[in-house]
Structures are given as structure tokens and as C-alpha cells.
Amino acid sequence: MSLLPCIEIEPHKSVQPADAAVIWLHGLGADGHDFAPIVPELKLPASLAVRFVFPHAPTLPVTINGGMRMPAWYDILALDIDRQIDNSQLLASAAAVAALIEREVARGVDTRRIVLAGFSQGGAVALQTALAYPEPLAGLLAMSTYFATHDTIVPMRPTGVS
């Protein structure tokens, strides 16, 4: 699987390489640029070595938007109380985010120092990914979202286990 394209903001150059990461998912119709401007607003101390990763969702036709193609983590089939979605696309997006976690681990970041954040549709993917991920993460931030896979969530297998 190829990695999702991302905007990455590295820690301040006077600090050691990143030893923590925040992977932040945008909402439907947006892209990774959506939340990148928040990093300087957080006013994190220069001594922190946090990498921010803002992936771009793939472009998909979205049923509730008349089939218009737009950045989307998954298709939304109907806007009712049960919010019918394409579950296989949501799980594929969660696997793509898990691959970004694995890349951070390969770069030397412990999973317990990785936070997943997501807004709206990205929040649903962040919930699925964080709660199913086989290793502990530092945290989960889910904003203006819902738990789309609450009745189907299945833990992922640890890396290297088939």
C-alpha cells in the first residue's frame, strides 16, 4: 500500500528529530491544508519535538453530494440517524492511517507518543483507527464527529502477524 500524500510540519530545527507525532485528519471535501495553520497557533514550546502530519483523503464520488467527486475518507450513502456509509472505504482509510502510524514508528516515534486527531468524517476514521490499533497510542482527538463503526469495530492484528 502506498502512503497517503501528506503535509508534514517538522519540529523546530534547533530541536532533536521528532520523538512525537500528531496525525490530523480533515473532514469531507477538505484536504490536509485544512488544519495545518493551527500548528503555530498551538504555541508549543520550541523544545518539543513534535511532527504534525496532515494527510489528504483520496478523491471519491460522494452519494449524498449527488455523486460529486471530492476528498473523502469514505462514501456517505444516506444522511439519516443511522448515517449509512461505505464501511469498506472507511476501513481502507483506517488502514491507510495505520500505515502512517507505522511510518512514524519506523522514524523512531513510539506509538505511545502518537496522537490521532480528526474532524467530522476524519474523526470517524480516527476513532476506528485508534480504537482498533493493536498498540497503545498517546491519545485521540475526535471533533464534531460520530462513531461510524461502533457496532462492527474489530481490533487490527499486531504488525507482522498474519
* Per-residue pLDDT tens digits for 38-89: 999 999 998 899 999 999 999 999 999 999 999 999 999 988 767 788 999 9
The mean predicted confidence, pLDDT, of the chain is: 92
pLDDT at 114: 98
Q: Which residue segments constitute the domains of the chain, with CATH numbers given? A: 6-143 (3.40.50.1820)
What separation in angstroms does the CA of 150 have from each of 19, 24, 125, 153, 154? 31, 21, 12, 6, 10
pLDDT at 93: 97
Q: In a 10 Å sphere around its CB, with 0-12 CB exposed, 13-18 middle and 19+ buried, how is residue 160 labelled?
A: exposed
Q: How many other CB atoms are found less than 10 A from the CB of residue 32?
A: 22
